């Protein structure tokens, strides 16, 4: 989604970034921290100099009456046959920016008693609306590695949307963290396709069980903010299916009503008119029965986008996001049908898909009308100020706490036990002086407690509990003396309050957001401000210097990091006086309570990293393309399947902290791994691949159970706690797969001294690779291996699978 209330001056359309510098004057620019990249990528796509292209695929498949969708589709078709061509055009065309109470609006159609639709951002909760919860963003719920919490967050978001009368939740966002500096990484679920897929699945189920339509986005390979309107993401078919398409497939398997094509090109075809990915991949191969809706202003044609598989255009005008009375569709679509450019059946299928989604989640059964006005939330005539927060602070706090990863804990520094004196240092520990929502969409945030990134995925904070508030309450109860210094650059005062304190907690941040907003990352203003994507994957506001200054004076320095993604930490992580590190992601409104719960041991940390933290920036396999003179920059995904931890494993690069890593206050022992073939053919698992062809690319038998994995985990320490066992699969050596791929995970509760039996099932799909020559999912010949561990590199159990 793009800018709505605030369009801060820089769009990514063809704008060249300045050469960037470090976050503060104390650190000169180095190759590890500055995107000092060539103007044109030196590695061509797939080893040749040909421009990649996306093949045509027509016609657009009609929705069907299979499975869950049978009744909704039949009802929708009955309505469509009663509608005029003008009504059909109204249903598929947004009413135009500002012509309605929501971010996007579809007008009512009286002829079928259809009340219209309200579409509202976003992945983190209700955007720009009061009395709503600022939920922990996607990257934070990913850090929990808990399917239950993913589902419960979706449920709570759905309830708030329903309570405000918003029909469509514009989320979840499932674009993978390909490049660690990409601006919108924080809205999604990290760097692994399987983790993203399960989070998408659970989120969609949670939201749509509350009768709210979910929209999975941004389809497909929308991976950076620079050149997001002009850049072409170029990738091969295998990488597309196994990595970037997988989360969308899981959302569709959960019944997602809507899919949003993004702004970008894929293989040099606009996503909103990419017939290969909309008609063929999405509607034919994945059998998607809902509707596709353009990102705001991402449509670039009328006839071409209609024929290629776009079903709804938002916000309806030819651009985003100003008052625009012209549209590619609307009256132009009726004319295209009349003159034969677009078949009537295509427009009828667009309308059928939209109405089927409406009926699928039962929004015809007394669903509320919007009771807010996103365009002016202070207008008393159009805002009822309905409080939908209920008890959602409980799930928000649980997620924010469960996501915190303990990265370092020397000499059992944590949990704290009634220290005599504690110092809180850094602006992130305290409130921002100008108020919670001073910056619309969080664009311009300079310092203060960081709860989320910026852009259309941000929400207003109805409240925000800072670490200063939560820890001071605990200090009062424990009779701990407390002091603080909230100026990130006042090192003299920072040292003063840290001196003679038993504990000095330093709070540091790193931020990013959507490309329509440009934000400096230091005070005074950094001349090389961040155009959505981070310039540097270092700390903001001179965080490295602040940590070093405090650690120089206090031998029990605890670092708390709130960040949108990985941050380089080699300048301070091994400092002997940095005794503990809490990686707290983006906490939403329950920031301080979550940190306090873990610091004091009220919650045994169980969070895991949903991405890899490298020792140097060049260790990552992919980068944001910051600079290009080309009118259509080519962003070549030459790393293929090897993103994040897959790349680090394949290239034998030692990370600072690996994917899936996180410590605990207790200890866990793994044992008794058992792998059992299940399904119709038992040990003869070759039967499926040997006798079943896959002309449609995705036969249903692929998702039948193939292998059951069982093992035990025992809590051998002194505290109750959660453990997050992860199941990885090693494919045969000649498969072309990464050394190991994540195939299962979940968070399990284990009281001290207890043993828990964990069971997972892998499908034939989990054991398959995509063969481009055969256009099939196939088994690789050779020996597979099941790996079970506490992280991607802490493997505790192994079992061969012949």
Catalytic (active-site) positions: 295
Q: Tell me how far apart the alpha carbons of residues 308 and 280 are, in angstroms, rounded to a whole number.
A: 9
Residue 189 near residue 139 (C-beta atoms within 8 A): yes
Strand order in the sheet with 265-266: 269-270, 265-266, 232-234, 634-636
How long a stretch of residues is the chain?
A: 802
Q: CB-based contacts of 490: which residues, under 8 Å, 6+ apart?
A: none
* 3-state SS, residue 536: coil
Residues 6+ away with beta carbon under 8 Å from 656: 569, 570, 573, 613, 614, 615
Q: Which of 732, 746, 742 lies closest to 787 in space, CA to CA?
A: 742
Q: Is 530 helix (H, G, I), strand (E, B) or coil?
A: strand
Strand pairing report for 168-169 and 213-219? parallel
Separation of alpha carbons 65 and 193, rounded Å: 30
Give CA–CA dist 678/707, Å, rounded: 5
CA distance 453 to 441: 9
Distance CA 648, CA 259 (A): 32
Can you tell me the distance from the alpha carbon of 756 to that of 743, in angstroms, rounded to the nearest whole number? 20
d(CA 615, CA 537): 11
Long-range own/partner contacts, residues 677-686 (CB < 8 A, 24 or more apart): 677/706, 677/707, 678/705, 678/706, 678/707, 678/708, 678/761, 679/704, 679/705, 679/706, 679/764, 680/704, 685/764, 685/767, 685/779, 686/779
Contact assessment for residue 626 and residue 35, using Cβ atoms and an 8 Å cutoff: yes
> What H or E segment, with its residue span, contains residue 347?
helix 344-360
**DSSP secondary structure letters along 726-779:** EEEEEPPGGG---S-EEEEE--EEE-TT-EEEEEEEEETGGG-EEETTTTEEEP
Tell me which residue of 386, 375, 486, 387 sits closest to 440, measured CA to CA.
375
- DSSP annotation string for 294-344: --TT----SHHHHHHT--BBSSSSSSSSS-----SSTHHHHHHHHTTSS-H
Q: Are strands 117-120 and 104-106 parallel, antiparallel or unpaired?
A: antiparallel
Handedness of CA 37, 645, 173, 590 (dihedral sign): negative
Question: Any idea what DSSP says for residue 190?
Answer: -
C-alpha angle 39-530-219 in degrees, rounded to nearest 5: 75
DSSP 249: H
State in Å, rounded, how far the first CA of the chain is from the last one.
46
Q: How many degrees, rounded to 5, is the angle at CA 377 between CA 371 and CA 383?
A: 30
């Amino acid at each position: 989604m793009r800018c709505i209330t605030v369009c801060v001056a820089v769009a990514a359309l063809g704008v060249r970034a300045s050469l960037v510098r470090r976050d503060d004057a104390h650190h000169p620019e180095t190759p590890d921290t500055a995107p000092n990249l060539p103007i044109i990528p030196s590695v061509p796509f797939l080893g040749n100099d040909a421009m990649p292209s996306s093949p045509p695929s027509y016609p657009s498949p009609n929705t069907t009456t299979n499975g869950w969708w049978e009744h909704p589709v039949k009802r929708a078709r009955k309505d469509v046959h009663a509608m005029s061509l003008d009504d059909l055009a109204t249903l598929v065309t947004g009413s135009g920016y500002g012509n309605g109470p929501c971010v996007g609006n579809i007008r009512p159609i009286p002829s079928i008693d259809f009340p219209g639709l309200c579409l509202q951002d976003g992945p983190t909760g209700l955007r720009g609306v009061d009395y709503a919860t600022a939920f922990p963003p996607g990257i934070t719920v990913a850090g929990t590695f808990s399917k239950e919490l993913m589902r419960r967050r979706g449920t709570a978001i759905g309830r708030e949307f329903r309570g405000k009368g918003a029909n469509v939740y514009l989320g979840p966002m499932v674009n993978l963290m390909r490049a660690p500096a990409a601006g919108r990484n924080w809205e999604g679920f990290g760097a692994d396709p399987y983790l993203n897929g399960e989070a998408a699945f659970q989120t969609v189920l949670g939201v749509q069980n509350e009768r709210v339509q979910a929209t999975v986005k941004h389809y497909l390979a929308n991976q950076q903010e620079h050149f997001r309107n002009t850049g072409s993401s170029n990738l091969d078919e295998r990488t597309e299916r196994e990595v970037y398409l997988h989360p969308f497939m899981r959302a569709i398997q959960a019944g997602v009503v809507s899919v949003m094509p993004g702004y970008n090109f894929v293989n040099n075809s606009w996503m909103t008119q990419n017939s290969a990915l909309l008609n063929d991949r999405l509607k034919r191969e994945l059998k998607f029965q809902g509707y596709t809706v353009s990102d705001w202003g991402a449509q670039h044609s009328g006839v071409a986008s209609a024929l290629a598989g776009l079903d709804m255009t938002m916000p309806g005008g030819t651009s985003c996001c100003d008052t625009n009375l012209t549209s590619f569709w609307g009256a132009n679509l009726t004319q295209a049908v009349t003159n034969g450019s677009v078949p009537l059946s295509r427009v009828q299928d667009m309308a059928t898909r939209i109405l089927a989604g409406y009926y699928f989640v039962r929004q015809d059964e007394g669903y509320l009308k919007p009771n807010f006005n996103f365009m002016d939330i202070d207008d008393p005539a159009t805002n009822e100020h309905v409080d939908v927060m209920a008890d959602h602070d409980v799930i928000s706090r649980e997620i924010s706490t469960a996501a915190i990863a303990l990265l370092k804990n020397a000499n059992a520094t944590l949990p704290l036990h009634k220290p005599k004196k504690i110092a809180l240092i850094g602006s992130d520990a305290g409130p921002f002086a100008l108020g919670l929502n001073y910056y619309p969409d969080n664009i311009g945030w300079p310092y203060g407690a960081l709860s989320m990134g910026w852009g259309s995925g941000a929400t207003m904070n109805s409240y925000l509990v800072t670490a200063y508030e939560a820890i001071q309450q605990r200090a009062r109860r424990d009779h701990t003396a407390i002091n603080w210094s909230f100026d990130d650059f006042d090192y003299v005062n920072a040292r003063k309050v840290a001196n003679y304190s038993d504990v000095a907690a330093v709070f540091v941040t790193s931020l990013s957001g959507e490309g329509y907003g440009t934000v400096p990352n230091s005070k005074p203003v950094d001349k090389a401000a961040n155009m959505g994507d981070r310039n540097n994957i270092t700390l903001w506001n001179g965080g490295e210097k602040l940590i070093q200054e405090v650690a120089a004076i206090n031998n029990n320095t605890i670092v708390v990091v709130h960040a949108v993604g990985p941050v380089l930490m080699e300048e301070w992580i091994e400092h002997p006086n940095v005794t503990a590190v809490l990686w707290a992601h983006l906490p939403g409104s329950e920031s301080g309570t979550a940190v306090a719960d873990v610091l004091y041991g009220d919650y045994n940390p169980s969070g895991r990293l949903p991405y890899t933290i490298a020792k140097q920036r060049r260790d990552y396999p992919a980068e944001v393309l910051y600079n290009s003179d080309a009118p259509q920059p080519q962003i070549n995904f030459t790393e293929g399947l090897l993103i994040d931890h897959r790349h680090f494993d394949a290239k034998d690069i030692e990370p600072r902290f690996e994917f899936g890593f996180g410590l605990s206050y207790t200890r866990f022992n793994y044992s008794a791994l058992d792998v059992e073939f299940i399904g119709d053919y038992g040990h003869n698992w070759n039967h499926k691949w040997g006798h079943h062809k896959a002309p449609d690319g995705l036969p249903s038998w692929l998702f039948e159970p193939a292998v059951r994995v069982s093992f035990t985990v025992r809590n051998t320490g002194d505290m109750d706690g959660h453990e997050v066992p992860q199941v990885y699969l090693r494919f045969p050596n000649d498969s072309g797969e990464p050394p190991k791929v994540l195939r299962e995970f979940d968070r399990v509760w284990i009281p001290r001294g207890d043993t828990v039996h964990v069971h997972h099932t892998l499908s034939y799909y989990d054991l398959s690779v995509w063969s481009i020559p055969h256009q099939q999912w196939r088994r690789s010949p050779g020996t597979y291996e099941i790996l079970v561990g506490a992280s991607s590199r802490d493997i505790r159990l192994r079992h061969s699978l012949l």
